[in-house]
């Protein structure tokens, strides 16, 4: 039995699970699994370690800074401070907190060079900065130092996923879930199953993550949002909306639910509500994704000047991210290819991104950038790789259809697959896909 099959078929709670994202990706891609060793406030430490807010993070940062002035050799306090800065980055969208986190964790490493928690925290920072090769090294170091600590396998597995080493990643997630079946491990198995084209099994695992959240506001809101995204990816707008609204009822103003709820409202034809929600999300958490969504809604509603303002802001945010150590090649390539901006630059960025991130997403973005540059024969090979796991992804199906159409091949079936799976998969491309599918 292969590792993929074992992960998919395993029936125990310990073998169900999956994870993170975003800062990028909302929390689906960065250090949601790192858990700091608490210093004075164990509840705060445990919560930050899980990648979720413990409450007043800004006050905790101030307390830690004050404590470290009095006790400058406290390595564990520096580690917790580094994790708190990562949480502040998630809360505010300000990438300068990544630089602060790096400084705190570098100090912790100098004070305690063989501390597994510090290695894990540094790994979560590398994931947040999209430095996946570095995260792989740090994840392995953390596992070597503390082989029975589940969070370390989360960092390692996340890095392996982003590097396209799926069999290894799924084996690591199995190990993580056997050590500690909790929200972090359940959510990672959910994501793994989603990648393998098993949406029902993915939902099952994420439902276990919801139970594991134990009613805590931010973890529960995060899981409800992920359940909403799973439903949305299968074209179930009503179910997705229910989950997003559940997240917002648990944690009013929860930004990570506002932006996807805006997409639901747009799909339902509620344009004013969609714009209002997207504005709230972009103002509260000005990340490239939230700002670009607002710009795309403006463009769709015939407000090109307002759209251009948002697109300009995306560029400003990118420069801030890069200045604070975040790699953005994949996001630059995707945005530029989608918006027809500097297509040559988009292709260069896509090639760089794919070298650093040879995952199915790296393959897909490179395939799309190649298609937009009319290099469709080369694009086809990468599109095939992007679909090699059997992932159900309407945008990837659309990209494949456009490549086949560019080559003069039969393409309608790909547009039909995209639209049947999710008729509102993209603000920019759904209408074109429906036209080509008809």
Q: Which of 144, 203, 151, 140 is nearest to 177 (CA)?
A: 151
Residues 133 and 270 in one domain: no
Q: Is residue 230 part of a domain?
A: no
Q: Are residues 193 and 278 in the same domain?
A: no
Question: Given this model, what pLDDT does residue 55 score?
Answer: 57
Look up the domain containing 308 and give its range: 265-437
CATH number at residue 169: 1.25.40.10
Please classify residue 178 by burial: count the beta carbons closer than 10 Å to its beta carbon, then call 0-12 exposed, 13-18 middle and 19+ buried: middle
Residues 300 and 205 in one domain: no
Residues with pLDDT less than 70, the chain: 1-55
Please report, for the chain, how many H helices and E strands are present, in that order: 24, 2
Q: Give tens-digit pLDDT for 272-309.
A: 999 999 999 999 999 999 999 999 999 999 999 999 99
What's the DSSP call for residue 18?
A: B
CA distance readout (Å), 272 to 226, 263, 313: 25, 12, 22
196 and 343 in a single domain? The answer is no
Token digits of residue 375: 């290099």
Residues 200 and 288 in one domain: no
Backbone angles phi, psi at 24, to 5 degrees: -95, 155
Instruction: Decide if 88 is inside a domain.
Output: yes
Which residues sit opposite 229 in a β-bridge?
Answer: none
In a domain, 223, yes or no: no
- Of the residues 169, 195, 212, the one at which a domain ends: 212
DSSP bridge partners of 28: 21
CA 34 to chain CA centroid, Å, is 15
CA dist 389 and 181 (Å) reads 25
DSSP 402-432: HHHHHTTS--HHHHHHHHHH-TTS-TTTHHH
User: Is there a single domain that holds both residue 82 and residue 191?
Assistant: yes
Give the Cα separation of 271 and 306 in Å (integer): 15
Radius of gyration of the chain (CA): 21
The position carrying tokens 């896909």 is 433
Side-chain half-sphere exposure of 80, counting CA atoms within 13 A: 27
- 147 assigned to some structural domain: yes
Looking at the structure, tell me whether residues 10 and 159 fall in a common domain.
yes
Asked whether residue 287 falls in the same domain as residue 409, the answer is yes
Residue 215, Cα to own-chain centre: how many angstroms? 23
Residue 30 is classified by DSSP as S
Query: Is residue 125 one of the residues assigned to a domain?
Result: yes
> Do the Cβ atoms of 224 and 246 come closer than 8 Å?
yes
> Total domain count for the chain?
2
- The answer to the question of residue 241 being in a domain is no
Residue 244 lies in a domain: no
Q: How many of the other CB atoms lie within 10 Å of CB of 2?
A: 10
pLDDT per residue over 242-262, tens digit each? Answer: 999 999 999 999 999 999 999
Give 205's DSSP letter.
Answer: H
């Amino acid at each position: 039995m292969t590792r993929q099959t074992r992960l998919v078929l395993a029936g125990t709670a310990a073998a169900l699970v999956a994870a993170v994202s975003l800062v990028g990706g909302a929390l689906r891609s960065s250090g949601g699994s790192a858990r700091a060793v608490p210093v004075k406030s164990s509840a705060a430490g445990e919560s930050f370690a899980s990648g979720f807010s413990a409450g007043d993070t800004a006050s905790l940062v101030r307390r830690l800074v004050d404590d470290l002035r009095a006790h400058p050799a406290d390595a564990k306090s520096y580690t917790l401070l580094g994790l708190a800065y990562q949480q502040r980055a998630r809360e505010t969208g300000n990438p300068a907190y990544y630089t602060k986190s790096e400084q705190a964790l570098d100090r912790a490493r100098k004070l305690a060079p063989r501390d597994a928690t510090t290695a894990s925290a540094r790994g979560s920072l590398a994931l947040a900065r999209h430095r996946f090769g570095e995260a792989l090294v740090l994840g392995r170091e953390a596992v070597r130092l503390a082989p029975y600590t589940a969070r370390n396998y989360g960092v390692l597995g996340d890095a392996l996923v982003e590097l396209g080493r799926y069999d290894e990643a799924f084996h690591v997630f199995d190990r993580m879930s056997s050590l500690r079946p909790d929200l972090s491990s359940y959510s990672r198995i959910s994501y793994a199953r989603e990648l393998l084209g098993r949406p029902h099994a993915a939902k099952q695992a994420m439902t276990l993550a919801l139970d594991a959240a134990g009613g805590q506001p931010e973890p529960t809101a995060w899981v409800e949002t992920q359940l909403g995204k799973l439903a949305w990816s299968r074209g179930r707008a009503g179910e997705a909306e229910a989950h997003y609204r559940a997240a917002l009822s648990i944690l009013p103003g929860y930004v990570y639910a506002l932006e996807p709820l805006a997409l639901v409202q747009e799909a339902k034809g509620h344009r004013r509500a969609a714009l209002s929600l997207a504005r709230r999300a972009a103002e509260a958490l000005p990340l490239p994704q939230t700002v670009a969504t607002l710009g795309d809604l403006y463009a769709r509603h015939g407000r090109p000047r307002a759209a251009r303002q948002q697109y300009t802001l995306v560029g400003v945010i990118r420069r801030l991210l890069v200045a604070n150590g975040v790699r953005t090649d994949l996001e630059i390539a995707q945005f530029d290819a989608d918006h027809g901006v500097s297509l040559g630059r988009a292709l260069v960025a896509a090639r760089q991104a794919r070298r650093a991130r040879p995952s199915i997403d790296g393959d897909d973005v490179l395939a799309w950038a190649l298609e937009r540059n009319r290099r469709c024969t080369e694009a086809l090979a990468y599109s095939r790789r992007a679909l090699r796991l059997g992932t159900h992804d309407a945008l990837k199906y659309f990209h494949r259809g456009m490549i086949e159409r560019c080559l003069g091949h039969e393409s309608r079936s790909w547009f039909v697959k995209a639209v049947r799976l999710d008729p509102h998969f993209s603000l920019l491309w759904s209408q074109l896909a429906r036209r080509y599918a008809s």
